[in-house]
Structure formats: structure tokens, C-alpha cells
Structure 1
């Protein structure tokens, strides 16, 4: 079979041999990747490394690869939103599975293990501020995965239907999808001290998460319906903005991925912790030890 070759307009490689947005070169990427939203949090994670190989920054994309207790790890920031996850996961995959010299796919697939460490809003009484939540399945309000062939294969179609019916979903908002995190990775990282549940990945911080400021929202009962949704004896635990795209794209591309977040606001109890940066380091060390 003839190898697929990727045109310069599709696989954009910078003049220094790095990928277009991340500015990383293939040899700078480890098999184990920790993803964080905030570029400054890359330094927080890498502060635990025993040694550092390289550091690269471009826009909101900040990368450090180093060694932690004998494990080679890359920590990569992705900014806010599923659109950024589309860039980051696709470019990390090209670094792992495409020869940048020939522009051809490698004969052997290289699997990346990606764990996103983030913050979120809790939606249940059992997710007060400070809770660590592992996203078993993520409901994407963003629509990103709907642009990729094979989305029905990697999504939970039955859960999608149950969710749409429960929400009385308005199709003007596009079709929500349900992406499934890697089960073995969930067990490996979440263990017995993280709450496991479903996550909503929103396409925004205000209206899509049911916040009402000066602009009213399409469904004033959205959050109440989300909080009451139950499927296979599990509820929706939290809001965040990236886990659906990460889990869905990673599965499509043959990688292992999951998201674990610390609750910094509980929408159910109307609580908020703005000093979360002082305590999220506990979650970071757990993931470093378990990835």
C-alpha cells in the first residue's frame, strides 16, 4: 500500500523543523504528556521534574519536557477551549506519527498517554470545592468531534440520545456528543481518591455554562436539568471546557487520554474558591506519580 503523504498546506512545518503552532520538534515530545490550560501552570508542573531537557513557548502554547522519577514527561499548555485542543492533540499526533522529513506516516503507530489537569465547576452535592473529579465520559457542547469521520464509533450514541431527550435539546445549538475516556488510564490515575463521573465540556464560560449576566440564555432551566440527568447510575459532576475534545480526538487517533480536574466552584452550592492555585499542586503530584 502506498504511504499517505501530507501536503505543506495540511501538515504545516516551520522552517526550523517544528510543528506550526506548538513549535515543537518530534524529538522533544515524550510518550507521557500532561496537559494544562494555563501556560504558567507548565512551570508549576515542571518544578517537580528532576531534570529538564527543553522549553518552548509560542502564544498560549508553553512546553517543557523533562524527567520525573525516571519517567520522561512532556507538560504542554493548551489555553482555553476545545478549539485549542483540536490544535494541540492533532499536532502532538503528527510529532509522534508522521516523519517530518518525508511527510509520510510512520509504519508503526506511536501511542501517547495524555492526562489533562484542570479546574472545573462542580454540579453535585458530592463535589464541593477542592474535590478531584475524573471524567469518565464527557458531553461536548462544542461540536468539535462532529467534524471528524468516525465520531459515532468512538462516542456513546445511546447516552447522547438519552441526554438530548432529558434536556429537550434545542437543535439550534448543534448536536452534543459523548466522548469516552480511556478506562485503563482512568483506573491508573483516579484510583480511589477521585470522584468519577460525567463532565460537560462547554463552548464558553458564561452562557454555555448557564451563567446569566446581561444577556439571557436560551434555556433558563439548563443547569437544573443537567444536575438531574442520570445514566447507568452515574451523574454529571462538573463543567469544564476541554475534556470532550481531548477524549474524542485521542481515541480517534489511537492515543490514551483522560481529564482530571479540581473543583474550584460549586454551582449547586454557589461556592467559589479563587485561591485554588495554592492547592492544585496536590492534584499535580498525584498525576505525576501515577501517569
Structure 2
């Protein structure tokens, strides 16, 4: 098998279980919690580390932002022997009982992305693997981390659905964002992010495993309440403590899956 074009990995370079953050800078942070780790490859948005965590082989590869680059990454990881994909990232929430700093464990995803539709019709469900979900729940409990389990919404845009009064930008949903978010809240969707739906669909189509866990950084229903616009620098708290908590829970979930066989 030749070196994969985008991620620059070959069979043997990655473990069967791979953590998938979006931000390349978070890969080294996550790997710092392992017993051993080394950089395998770095190309474009894809940074890959492989090592061991409490005896479990483990890899971590960044995917960049959104479903298109994520699909490319996991396509090539699967060709290198990866069989379990766990999204570890950040998200917003539509629910007031879910607080900033909590974890959201995804058992399913609303498919508001375009990429997954190239692999399966929209009627095909985007669902996580039960054993991966359970491993994430167990990992969170073992570290006394508050986690909420439920459905996420995966979308292709970061700004288009947010309020931007006085601007020509914002897209189709900009004028009706509150009603759209309220609909998702009423449907008990707990999170909003940009990758999980495609990860779940591709893994299910291929007969592999997938799951997702993210740290909550903001409440989507409250965006723009003060300034009447979406300012990510002002609204989002990218605390290092949150990312470290996410790294430990994700790595612990991989250990649980490895020991379960």
C-alpha cells in the first residue's frame, strides 16, 4: 500500500483506534497525555501522532474544519488499517442544562452537511457505535467529568447561521437563525459542530466503528444577545483545561475499547 496522498501515512503508521480533533495544534496536546508518542506525519491540515496510552495502541490525527477534509482523512486512515474513529473536539449547545465546560457525547447526528450525502442518501441515519458511546460514558464517569449523551447537529458553515445585523453576510439562514436554533432545541439536539455526521455515516457504511465527544464552549441560543452579532473571540472560551479534559476522556475511551477486545 503506497503512502496516502493527503495524510502521508502507510499501513502500520496508525493504531486501529484514532482520535480525531480538528485543530492540528491539539494533536500534540492530546498526545502529551499518553505514555509514549511520536509524530508520524504532517501535511496540510493533517498532523498524525501514534503511541500508547496505558498499554493501548492509539493514534491521533487532525482533520481540519468541516466534513470534506474529515472524509478525506478517514478514507485514508481506513486504508492504513484504522477501524475505530473517535471525534474529539469542541461544540456549541442548544440546551440550557448543558453548561460551558461540560462534555457532549454523541450517539447520533443531524445531517446538515453536504459531504455525507455523497456516501449515503439523507434517509440513512448518522449513528455512533454503541460500544464507542459506552466507552466514552465510562471514561467520563471514571474521571468524574459531567457528560451529556445525545444528538449533535453537523453543519457545513460556521458563520452563515449566526446573527450578523447590518451585514450582507450571513447566508440564507441568517434572517431566521433564532427559529432554526429553537427547532433544534425542541428536538433535544444537544450540540452543534461540523464533523460528526460524516464520520458516523462513513464508518457505518464501511462496517467500522465511530463515536464523538466534544467539550461545550458556548450556548448557541445565547449568541449575540449582548452585541447582537456573533463574535467568536468574545463568545468562545478556548480554555486549555477544557482541551486537556477532553484529551484524557478520549484517550481513556480508547483504552476501554482496547481492553474490551
Match of 1:61 in 2: 46
Q: Determine the C-alpha separation between the residues in 2 that align with 1:222 and 1:136.
A: 25
Alpha-carbon offset, residue 117 of structure 1 = 0.7
Q: Determine the C-alpha separation between the residues in 2 that align with 1:93 and 1:114.
A: 9
Alpha-carbon offset, residue 277 of structure 1 = 2.7
Alpha-carbon offset, residue 63 of structure 1 = 0.3
The 3-state SS of whatever aligns with 2:12 is helix
Match of 2:129 in 1: 182
Q: Determine the C-alpha separation between the residues in 2 that align with 1:257 and 1:204.
A: 23
Question: Quick check: 2:162–2:170 contact (8 Å CA) kept in 1?
Answer: no
CA RMSD of aligned residues (A): 2.2
Match of 1:163 in 2: none
Question: Quick check: 1:28–1:54 contact (8 Å CA) kept in 2?
Answer: no
Deviation digits for residues 43-85 of structure 1 (CA, Å, limit 9, x no counterpart): 0011112122542111110001001110110110101010011
Match of 1:133 in 2: 104
- TM-score, with normalisation over the residues of structure 1? 0.74
The 3-state SS of whatever aligns with 1:248 is helix
Match of 1:286 in 2: 249
Query: Which runs of no fewer than 5 residues in structure 1 stay unpaired?
Result: 1-12, 97-110, 157-178
The 3-state SS of whatever aligns with 2:214 is strand
Match of 1:277 in 2: 240
Deviation digits for residues 8-59 of structure 1 (CA, Å, limit 9, x no counterpart): xxxxx7xxx3100000011111011111111111100111121225421111
Deviation digits for residues 161-190 of structure 1 (CA, Å, limit 9, x no counterpart): xxxxxxxxxxxxxxxxxx111122111112
- TM-score, with normalisation over the residues of structure 2? 0.82
Q: Determine the C-alpha separation between the residues in 1 that align with 2:236 and 2:172.
A: 28
Match of 2:226 in 1: none
Q: Which runs of 4+ in 1 moved over 6 A?
A: none
Count of residue pairs the alignment pairs up: 235
Match of 1:206 among 155, 159, 167: 159
